[in-house]
Amino acid sequence: MSLKKSYFILCRPQLGENIGFVARALKNFSISNLRIVKPRCGWPNQKAIVTSVGAKDILQSTKIYNSTEDSIGDLDVLFAATSRFRNVNKKVISIKDFSKKIKKNQKIGIIFGPESSGLSNDELNYADYLVTIPTNKNFSSLNLSHSVILFCFQLFQNFSNKKFKFSTGYRSSLASKSEVNKFLAFIIKGLDNKGFLQPDHKRQSMIRNIHNIFHRLNLSEQEIRILLGIFTTLNGLNNKS
């Protein structure tokens, strides 16, 4: 299944701001197909444009429909997002499992109701599955765009062909064992001068613990230099006092 075959459908959305946030959520996860059925906030909507930030192109390509039936006519499978128990004969699944119900080459839709009431039972009748998002049972209603972004993430995680690698921009190389040991020799000498490594029969155990601490940290060359500067400065301050 391709992300290009995923369609998000908003039925009777009430707030232009939420539509903009939805567009932004879709673009975050490389999904471009947004459909709106009878928007109550008027269309086009300036507030939606403002909150979409860099996803104005999603709004520009959004298709507007006069009925739910028209908006889903070309889809193979339809999932309906709902947080309320419904007395309808439909399979109810968790959002964690919904992507498993999608077969190769299927054109799928995910439909959402208006912010205040959610989808009607008549609208739910079009769905193949009702999808719930596990939440606090005493406060289960999610903002429209928050609900949408969770679906986007699930689709993206399961069907994106890209392999993502994350790395830090930190440039300093790891300090060699030799550099760490030179730093530790400096520290231990200073501690000896201050009489910290006492009594004598515990000295070696204390040194061993100090070595374990700093070798475990995988310090960089820059961090070693910073620590040397700190301890040198502190030693100088103590001498002055």
pLDDT tens-digit readout, 94-150: 999 998 899 888 999 999 999 888 899 899 999 999 999 988 888 888 899 999 999
Delimit the domains of the chain by residue range: 3-159, 177-240
pLDDT (0 to 100) of residue 66:
96
Q: Is residue 85 pLDDT above 70, yes or no?
A: no
pLDDT (0 to 100) of residue 162:
64
Residue that wins the pLDDT comparison between 98 and 164: 98
Neighbours of 175 (CB within 10 A): 22
pLDDT tens-digit readout, 33-78: 999 999 999 899 999 999 999 999 999 999 999 999 999 999 999 9
pTM tops 0.85 = no
pLDDT tens-digit readout, 179-205: 999 999 999 998 998 899 999 999 999
163 pLDDT band (50/70/90 cuts)?
low
DSSP for 147-200 reads HHHHHHHHHHHHH--PPP-------PPBPPHHHHHHHHHHHHHHHHHTT-S-SH
pLDDT (0 to 100) of residue 37:
97
User: Whole-angstrom Cα distance, residue 35 to residue 30?
Assistant: 16
Q: Residues 79-102: what's their mean pLDDT? A: 86
- Return the SS3 of 138: coil
Residue that wins the pLDDT comparison between 21 and 160: 21
Domain 3-159: which topology? Alpha/beta knot (3.40.1280)
pLDDT tens-digit readout, 210-235: 999 999 998 999 999 999 999 888 87
CA angle at 230 for the pair 226 and 236, rounded to the nearest 5°:
145
Q: Is residue 169 pLDDT above 80, yes or no?
A: no
2 pLDDT band (50/70/90 cuts)?
confident
